[in-house]
Every structure is written in C-alpha cells, then in structure tokens.
C-alpha cells in the first residue's frame, strides 16, 4: 500500500527541535478547546444525528482522563479514557463534538483518521531473503561474537497482529509471550452514561491475533522469529527476544494505535519492553501535536525506543512518513541487496543500494531525513495462516517466481516475501533488542539512537536526506553497547 505524497515542511518546528533525539516538550500549535481543521470539516459535513469517533487530548495538569470521560458522557456521548496517555476516545454527534471542545482541560479534538501499513502493494521480484538480510546488517556476527539473541528483552510489535498458533517461529506463548487485539468496534469500546460499560478494550492471550492481513506476522518474524519452520534458515534478527503482539485489526486508526501505545506503557515492566516497532504511518508534515507524536514522545520518555518505517513514497524529496521524523524516534529507510543484479534492474538503479520506493527527506534539512537504513526489498519472513491480504499480494513472486525469491518449496507454507520500509523497520527493532541484552537493558532511547547513527556504514553516493547515517551495522552497535 503506497501512501500518496503530500508532505509539507514545518520550518519553524525544524528550527526549534533541531537534530537531537533527546526529550523535548511538544510545541503546542493549538489553543485550548481547538477542533482540528480536518475534524471541523468532517463535523460540518456530518448529519445532525450521526456520530463520529474522535480523539480528545487533555491537559493533565487541569483534569484527568476519567473526569473528562465523565464530562463527555454527561453530554450524551460515549467515551473511553486511556490509562497512561492524555487521550479520551469519544463517539459523538457533531453538536457534541463542538461541546466537547469546550470542556475544562480539553486541548485538542482530532479526527480519528485512518493510517496505513507500509508494505508494498505489488511487490516486484527482488532478492534480499531473511537469511541474507540479517547477514547484511551483521546481526548474525553480533549474535555469534557477543553471545546475544535478545534474551529477556521485550519487543512490541504494534501492527495487524501475530499468528502464534500456525507459525511456530513466533509461537504463542513461547516466542510471542503476549498476543492481543484491541477491540475493533468503536461503539463496543466506549462507555455511555447510565449504561453498563464494556470491559477491557484489550482481548489478551490469543494464540492468533491476526484477522486477515498477515502484515504483523511477517514483521514479527523479521524482528524476532527463531526459524523453527525452516530448520533455522530464515531466522530473524533477535530470535531470543520476547515478542509482544498488539493487534489493532485489519484497518488501523489513530485511537487504536494510541491504545496500543497505552498498553505498552501499562505493561512495560511486566514484559521488559525496550523497543516498539511501527511499520505503519500516514502523510503530511511532522506535527508534534499529532496524537501519535504525543504518544511516541511519552513512550520515549518512559525509556522505550520507538522505531518507525520511513514510508514508501520515494524517490521524490520530502516524502517521509511524518511519524518517522520526530527527533525522539528512529526512522528507517529501505535498502536493496548489494549483489542482486535483478534488483538493480527493477527497484534499484545499477550499483544502487536504496529502494526507489523508500521515502526521502529534504536535502540539508536537520529534521527531515531517515535515521538509518536497513534491508527492505523482498524480505522472506513468516507467513500467517490467516494473512489473506499479504499472502494474496505475494502469491505471484512466492510461487511463479520461486527461483527469483529463493523460497524453498518445502518452506512455502510458512514463509512469504514482501517489500517495503515495513520490512526494514523490524530489522532495526531486532538490533535494538541485541544491543539492550548486551547492555543489560540499561541503554536509554537516545543512547540507542546515537549508537546506531555512530556505527552505521556510510552508503557511497547517497546523502543524509536519503539514507540517514547509512546501513545499520549490528556488529558495531552491539560491540559498543556495554
């Protein structure tokens, strides 16, 4: 699925935030009680009696989530407060939306817009199998040299879910230690005044949290699959890590992403979560007041490294997924195989190392650029039994072009190929798990980011706005993580 390019520059934000990855308070562009412009347009076009699901951000010094949710329910709308993040989801009529904006402590009311997974919708026959991509970033050398595999480190996969029933590489509960879905129906998620409130918004302990996409299972295998179903051939970056699957459903919306981050914050100590992978995004300029950016900064500030796919809208400039631009986040571009001549004829120019679909930043800009680059072209990883969408998209090059993909027939039921920055991002999340194991979990997100930048291999012929610091080097990053 390719995102439509419509990124714009916020030069004032760039000037204030600078280049570092440190903790900064978000710059507020909103006045109290603001209804975001996109939501205002939606409210104006919605029939009086129809309802809209909205995201309400509040000032934690002025109110609490439960108090605000109660105030929203007093208006006749439905509401649900998150536990760790300053957001309330609300199901409201247009008049109620405007009234919510005037409640005490409300900072911003936003549209619950749809987001997108960042795999390619029509993958081309390119070569960078998981057994090769792990070696490309020297993760196999790091595991051998330093005896690390991500043991004891929690890696959250905020995605479409994980099939831990059929796919033993990410099996629940031995590999995926927690597997859950966020309740998908907005009306089932919120509470109304004088009506029994639904229970938890999370359905936990699922063997398979995938519905029909298969994206999250593929991503999970890259980050931490142990290669069981391929006799160890297709092993992920951190095969000893503990995966936490957070399934947001077949279609991802902002509040469901926020609920996923909230679950991570609620359970970070329980599962020792040190990194969260996000192979999804949107378009537009980076906005520190965007609910997702507010959430990722809170996650960062709590000691969890946030990794985002850079987007699939390249090769034009200024096409980055805005969530990957936040200075407290690690944004990952996608590279090709250095040795595959067929890839160079398709998504890579002769001698090139960067996929043409990989989103680029702005030349010379201190903010708009990926952090690092990782393999993201035709990555062979775990297949979900229920992954109808991804399995369908990949059927052509899995089976008609098996010699190109390299997928062995004996393993075809359990693995599939996919391309995108979605596939590059979990390589880096896995490297973070290796680094944290070597460091005893003591690295801060800023230290992780700085080490990845300092140890990345420069990519000749490419600028920072295209590849960031270069190709991630797990061996050197783990070596320096003591």
CATH of the domain at 412: 3.40.50.200
22 located within any domain: no
| pLDDT of 25 over the 90 cut | no
pLDDT at 405: 58
- What would the pLDDT profile of 111-142 be if each residue is shown by its tens digit? 999 999 887 643 333 334 577 899 999 999 99
Q: Are residues 84 and 138 in the same domain?
A: no
Residue at token pair 């935030």? 17
Mean pLDDT for the chain?
88
- What would the pLDDT profile of 170-211 be if each residue is shown by its tens digit? 999 999 999 999 998 888 899 999 999 999 999 999 999 998
d(CA 204, CA 351): 47
Instruction: Check residue 451 and report its DSSP letter.
Output: H
CB atoms within 10 A of CB 7: 25
- What is the percent of the chain with per-residue pLDDT over 90, rounded to a whole number? 75
pLDDT at 344: 43
Rg of the Cα atoms in the chain: 21
| Buried b or exposed e, range 386-415, using 16+ CB within 10 angstroms | bbebbbebbeebbeebeebbebeeebeebb
Strand pairing report for 176-182 and 280-281: unpaired
Residue at token pair 């109620």? 96
Q: Which among 340, 350, 373 is positioned nearest to 137, based on CA atoms?
A: 373
- What is the length of the chain? 482
pLDDT at 407: 72
d(CA 71, CA 59): 14
Higher pLDDT, 453 or 9: 453
Q: Are residues 53 and 141 in the same domain?
A: no
Query: What pLDDT band is residue 391 in, cutting at 50, 70 and 90?
Result: low
| pLDDT of 237 over the 50 cut | yes
pLDDT at 396: 57
- H or E stretch at 92: strand 87-92
What's the average model confidence in pLDDT over 441-448?
98
pLDDT at 392: 65
pLDDT at 343: 45
Residue 57: burial class (beta carbons within 10 Å; 0-12, 13-18, 19+)? buried
| pLDDT of 304 over the 60 cut | yes
CATH at residue 39: 3.30.70.2980
Which of 93, 111, 129 terminates a domain? The answer is: 111
| pLDDT of 351 over the 80 cut | no
330 φ, ψ to 5°? -100, 115
| pLDDT of 6 over the 50 cut | no
- What is the percent of the chain with per-residue pLDDT over 70, rounded to a whole number? 85
Q: Which two structure tokens, joined as six digits, stand for 53?
A: 């699901």
Cβ-contact 310, 370 below 8 angstroms? yes
d(CA 266, CA 246): 13
What's the average model confidence in pLDDT over 105-115?
96
Q: Are residues 150 and 68 in the same domain?
A: no
Q: Are residues 313 and 366 in the same domain?
A: yes
Domain count, the chain: 2
Q: What is the pTM of this model?
A: 0.91
pLDDT at 389: 73
| pLDDT of 216 over the 70 cut | yes
Q: Which two structure tokens, joined as six digits, stand for 475?
A: 């061996």
- H or E stretch at 101: helix 94-101
Cβ-contact 421, 310 below 8 angstroms? yes
d(CA 123, CA 1): 10
Q: Are residues 295 and 415 in the same domain?
A: yes
Cβ-contact 274, 436 below 8 angstroms? yes
Query: What pLDDT band is residue 412 in, cutting at 50, 70 and 90?
Result: confident
CB atoms within 10 A of CB 460: 8
14 located within any domain: no
Taking CA atoms, 242 is separated from 171, 328, 385, 393, 446, in Å, by 11, 23, 21, 29, 22
Contacting residues for 267 by C-beta, under 8 A, at least 6 apart: 178, 244, 273
176 located within any domain: yes
Q: Are residues 356 and 473 in the same domain?
A: yes
d(CA 452, CA 29): 32
Which of 82, 111, 140 terminates a domain? The answer is: 111
pLDDT at 393: 64
- Compute the half-sphere exposure of residue 306: CA atoms within 13 Å on the CB side of its CA: 28
Q: Facing residues of 181 across strands?
A: 203, 247
Phi-psi label, residue 257: left if phi above 0, alpha if psi -120 to 50, beta otherwise: alpha
d(CA 123, CA 132): 18
Cβ-contact 179, 217 below 8 angstroms? no
Q: Are residues 157 and 53 in the same domain?
A: no
Q: For the ranges 55-69, 143-157, 371-385, 407-421, which has the lowest average pLDDT?
A: 407-421
5 located within any domain: no
Q: Are residues 190 and 270 in the same domain?
A: yes
pLDDT at 397: 56
154 located within any domain: yes
Taking CA atoms, 166 is separated from 215, 238, 304, 387, in Å, by 15, 20, 29, 11
Query: Could you list the residue range(s) of the whole structural domain that residue 76 is in?
Result: 28-111
Which of 86, 111, 136 terminates a domain? The answer is: 111
Q: Are residues 381 and 263 in the same domain?
A: yes
pLDDT at 448: 98
Strand stretches in 383-481, DSSP E: 415-418
Q: Are residues 120 and 185 in the same domain?
A: yes
pLDDT at 249: 82
Q: Are residues 134 and 107 in the same domain?
A: no
84 located within any domain: yes
| pLDDT of 337 over the 80 cut | no
19 located within any domain: no
Q: Are residues 104 and 218 in the same domain?
A: no
338 located within any domain: yes
């Amino acid at each position: 699925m390719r995102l439509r390019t419509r990124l714009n520059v916020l030069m004032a934000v760039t000037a204030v935030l600078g280049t570092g990855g440190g903790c900064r308070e978000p710059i507020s562009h909103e006045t109290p009680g603001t209804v975001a412009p996109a939501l205002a347009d939606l409210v104006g076009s919605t029939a009086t009696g129809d309802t809209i699901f909205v995201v309400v951000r509040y000032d934690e010094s002025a109110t609490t989530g439960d108090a605000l949710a109660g105030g929203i329910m007093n208006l006749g709308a439905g509401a649900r407060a998150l536990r760790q993040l300053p957001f309330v989801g609300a199901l409201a009529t247009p008049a109620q939306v405007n009234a919510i904006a005037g409640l005490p402590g409300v900072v911003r009311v936003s549209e619950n817009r749809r987001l997108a997974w960042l795999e390619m919708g029509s993958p081309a026959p390119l070569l960078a199998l998981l057994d090769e991509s792990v070696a490309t970033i020297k993760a196999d050398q790091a595991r051998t040299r330093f005896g690390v595999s991500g043991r004891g480190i929690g890696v959250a996969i905020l995605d479409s879910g994980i099939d831990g029933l059929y796919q033993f590489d990410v099996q629940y509960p031995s590999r995926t230690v927690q597997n859950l879905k966020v309740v998908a129906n907005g009306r089932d998620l919120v509470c109304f005044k004088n009506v029994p409130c639904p229970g938890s918004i999370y359905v936990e302990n699922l063997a398979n949290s995938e519905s029909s996409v298969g994206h999250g299972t593929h991503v999970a295998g890259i980050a931490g699959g142990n290669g069981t179903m391929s006799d160890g051939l297709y092993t992920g970056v951190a095969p000893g890590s503990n995966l936490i699957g957070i399934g947001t459903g077949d279609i991802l919306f902002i509040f469901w992403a926020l609920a996923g981050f909230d679950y991570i914050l609620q359970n970070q100590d329980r599962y020792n979560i040190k990194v969260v992978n996000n192979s999804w995004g949107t378009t537009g300029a980076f906005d520190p007041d965007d609910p997702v950016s507010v959430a990722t900064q809170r996650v960062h500030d709590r000691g969890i490294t946030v990794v985002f796919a850079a987007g699939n809208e390249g090769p034009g400039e200024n096409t980055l997924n805005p969530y990957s631009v936040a200075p407290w986040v690690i944004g990952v571009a996608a590279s090709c195989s250095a040795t595959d001549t067929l890839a160079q004829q398709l998504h890579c120019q002769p001698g090139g190392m960067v996929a043409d679909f990989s989103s680029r930043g702005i030349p010379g800009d201190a903010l708009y650029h990926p952090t690092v680059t990782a393999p993201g072209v035709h990555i062979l990883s775990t297949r979900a039994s229920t992954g109808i969408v991804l399995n369908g998209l990949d059927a052509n090059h899995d089976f008609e072009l098996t010699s190109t993909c390299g997928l062995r027939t004996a393993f075809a039921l359990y693995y599939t190929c996919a391309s995108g920055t979605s596939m590059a991002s979990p390589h880096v999340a896995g490297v973070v798990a290796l680094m944290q194991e070597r460091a005893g979990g003591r690295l801060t997100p800023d230290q992780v980011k700085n080490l990845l930048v300092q140890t990345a291999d420069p990519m000749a012929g490419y600028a920072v706005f295209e590849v960031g610091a270069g190709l991630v080097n797990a061996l050197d990053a783990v070596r320096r993580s003591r």
